[in-house]
Structures are given as structure tokens and as C-alpha cells.
């Protein structure tokens, strides 16, 4: 039984026991659960929290189009799909058409993220060839889906090269990318990841990503601020996003520890979302996390969690 249904039934039973007047029964049962704080089911969220395909498969079924409709019905205004490039072109186009009909945005898809190899820290033709191939594939995906952002992880760092030279190579490689990205209007977002889950990667911190973006100096190379990763790596979430604000294009979400929905860990998402809202943020916040509980009830609990943190 959903929480609100349980609460409303319990409240009604209590009123009967006390011989309450009919006026009491006229109270909207949702008010027992403070709708002014937690919102109403189906009401659009203040910010563009973006579930991924599969988030609501227990309630919406396996079909991605049905899942999009369910997300929209629950008040979500965006979706993200790391694996969008791997989907058949016909499905990509169908997703884009449905998003347009539902007035939903599409978050960044993964363009390149190989955690096993040194890539952008190197300076050679092989890296340029790989980037050219990946970006061209991403541009075709963006054309079919109207995607505006594609995510890139610069790969592993080198143990044989001074850090400054590696940083310079990453900057040069990203400048190379802008020549391909700009004509297509596709923005690449760089994701710093934490060293605990992904040891050995070059890009780990928001200040580091910020300095690289400033050096590249292009509106087509920006940052995706993953709050789960950055809570582990450096904390100081709100001050750091303020410092890097001009270079941040998107956010990833996940509480810590556990990488589940907000309210399950130590991050004060309500304060962060209030801060973003007051700054006028209109981009996508990708829900890159699991559910703390399984099944249909776990999916509904996730929605309740977002209602809670959106109640600022």
C-alpha cells in the first residue's frame, strides 16, 4: 500500500472513532501528508530530475516509450540514457518524438568512457582518430534524438609522464574535439569520477575539470557535476559548484553511501536543489543511481523521495 493511501485511511478511521463532524471528512486526505511540503502526485517537479530507462520498469513495463509516459505522468520533466548511442536508430527517433510530445528534455548520453586505457592524456594520431570516430557517431545520434550534450571521460592517467604534460595533452585533445563539435552544436561534458570506485582515472575533481574547461575556452566543452562522486572525492558540494558554475552544463545524482536515491545517505539534496533553483538552473539532473528498495513499491518510494527533496 502506498504511504499516502495508508495515511489517509488511518486518518479517516481515527476521525470516525472520535465521532468527528462531516466537515472533517471533507478534508482532502492528501493534506494529512502535507501536500504543501511534498507536492501532489503527478504535479511537475520544480527541477528537471531525469530518470533513466529501467527506473520504473516494474510499474511501467519494459517498453521505453511506456516508461517515458509513466515518468511524465509522475511529474518528471526529463530523462537520460547513458547507452543512447547503442540503441537502434529507429528507436532513437521514436524516443525523440515521444520526448517532444511530452515536452521532456534529454540529458547527456555517453560518447566515450573507457576506464581501462590511457587516452586523452596522450598526444598521438590514434587518439585523434578515436575521438573523430566517436564524435561523428555521437553527432549522428544527436541528430536523430535532438540531444544537446554528450559525456566524455578522459581515461586513465599515465604513470610515465609528468602530470602537467598530461593535463596539457588533455586540453589539446579537447580543443581538437571542439572543431568537430561546434558545427553540430553538440556540447561535450567532462565527468570527474571518484578514486574509490574508479581508481586510476585522470579526471577526479571539479576544480581540476574547471581549470581544463577554462583552458579549452569553448562553449562546447563543459562539466557534468556528479554529486555522488564529488561527495566522496572532495565534498564541499555547493561552494564548488558555485566556483565552477560557468563551466557546469549538467548534474548527476546519487546519495552516498550506497549510490541510491536522495534521502538514503548523507547528502542534503533538498538544500542543494533549493540552491540550484534559486540560481535559475534549468538544465537536467540525471538520476544515475539505484533504488534502495526493489519492486513496484521501491519505485514508488523513489518518487516519494524526490517529492520530499523537491519540497523546498
Place 42 in a pLDDT band, splitting at 50, 70 and 90: confident
Is the pLDDT assigned to residue 163 strictly greater than 90? yes
Instruction: Please tell me whether residues 127 and 184 are part of one structural domain.
Output: yes
153 and 269, same domain (yes or no): yes
Same domain, 5 and 145: no
> Using one digit for the tens of pLDDT, what is the confidence trace for 200-249?
999 999 999 999 999 999 999 999 999 999 999 999 999 999 999 999 99
| Number of domains within the chain | 2
234, three cell numbers: 572532495
Domain of 2 in residue numbering reads as: 1-33
What share of the chain in percent tops pLDDT 70?
88
Which parts of the chain fold into alpha helices (H)? 3-17, 22-25, 35-38, 57-60, 64-73, 89-102, 125-145, 163-184, 206-216, 227-233, 237-243, 269-278, 295-309
Contact 65, 98 (CB under 8 A): yes
Do 19 and 117 sit in the same domain of this protein?
A: no
Q: How far apart are CA 109 and CA 128, in angstroms?
A: 20
For the chain, the residue count is 312
Residues 18 and 46 in one domain: no
pLDDT tens digits for 244-274? 999 999 999 999 999 999 999 999 999 999 9
Identify whether residues 256 and 169 lie together within a single domain.
yes
Q: Provide CB contacts within 8 A for 155, sequence distance 6+.
A: 114, 115, 117, 118, 119, 120, 121, 201, 202
Does the pTM surpass 0.95? The reply is no
Same domain, 25 and 153: no
Shared domain check, 285 and 137 = yes
Note whether 50 and 20 are same-domain residues: no
pLDDT of 15 over the 90 cut: no
Q: How many Å apart are CA 261 and CA 253, to the nearest integer?
A: 8
**One domain for residues 171 and 281:** yes
Question: What CATH number is associated with residue 186?
Answer: 3.20.20.150
Tell whether 133 and 268 lie within a shared domain.
Answer: yes
Find the radius of gyration of the CA atoms of the chain: 22
38: pLDDT confidence band, cut at 50, 70 and 90? low
Shared domain check, 242 and 269: yes
Amino acid at each position: 500500500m502506498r504511504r499516502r493511501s495508508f495515511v489517509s485511511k488511518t486518518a479517516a478511521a481515527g476521525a470516525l472513532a472520535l465521532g468527528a463532524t462531516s466537515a472533517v471528512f471533507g478534508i482532502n486526505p492528501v493534506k494529512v501528508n502535507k501536500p504543501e511540503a511534498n507536492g501532489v502526485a503527478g504535479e511537475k517537479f520544480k527541477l528537471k530530475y531525469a530518470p533513466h530507462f529501467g527506473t520504473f520498469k516494474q510499474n511501467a513495463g519494459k517498453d521505453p516509450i511506456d516508461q517515458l509516459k509513466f515518468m511524465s505522468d509522475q511529474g518528471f520533466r526529463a530523462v537520460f540514457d547513458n547507452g543512447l548511442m547503442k540503441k537502434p536508430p529507429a528507436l532513437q527517433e521514436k524516443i525523440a518524438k515521444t520526448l517532444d510530445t511530452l515536452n521532456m528534455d534529454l540529458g547527456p548520453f555517453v560518447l566515450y568512457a573507457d576506464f581501462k586505457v590511457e587516452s586523452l592524456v596522450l598526444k598521438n594520431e590514434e587518439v585523434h582518430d578515436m575521438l573523430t570516430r566517436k564524435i561523428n557517431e555521437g553527432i549522428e545520434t544527436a541528430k536523430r534524438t535532438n540531444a544537446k550534450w554528450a559525456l566524455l571521460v578522459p581515461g586513465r592517467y599515465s604513470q610515465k609522464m609528468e602530470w602537467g604534460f598530461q593535463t596539457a595533452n588533455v586540453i589539446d585533445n579537447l580543443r581538437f574535439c571542439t572543431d568537430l563539435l561546434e558545427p553540430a552544436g553538440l556540447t561535450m561534458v567532462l565527468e570527474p569520477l571518484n578514486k574509490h570506485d574508479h581508481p586510476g582515472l585522470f579526471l577526479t575533481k571539479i576544480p581540476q575539470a574547471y581549470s581544463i574547461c577554462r583552458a579549452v575556452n569553448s562553449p562546447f566543452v563543459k562539466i557534468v557535476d556528479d554529486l555522488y562522486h564529488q561527495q566522496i572525492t572532495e565534498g564541499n558540494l555547493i561552494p564548488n559548484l558555485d566556483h565552477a558554475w560557468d563551466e557546469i552544463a549538467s548534474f548527476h545524482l546519487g546519495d552516498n553511501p550506497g549510490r541510491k536515491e536522495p534521502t538514503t545517505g548523507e547528502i542534503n539534496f533538498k538544500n542543494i536543489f533549493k540552491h540550484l533553483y534559486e540560481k535559475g538552473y534549468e538544465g537536467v539532473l540525471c538520476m544515475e543511481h539505484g533504488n534502495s528498495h526493489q519492486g513496484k513499491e521501491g519505485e514508488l518510494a523513489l518518487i516519494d523521495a524526490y517529492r520530499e527533496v523537491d519540497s523546498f
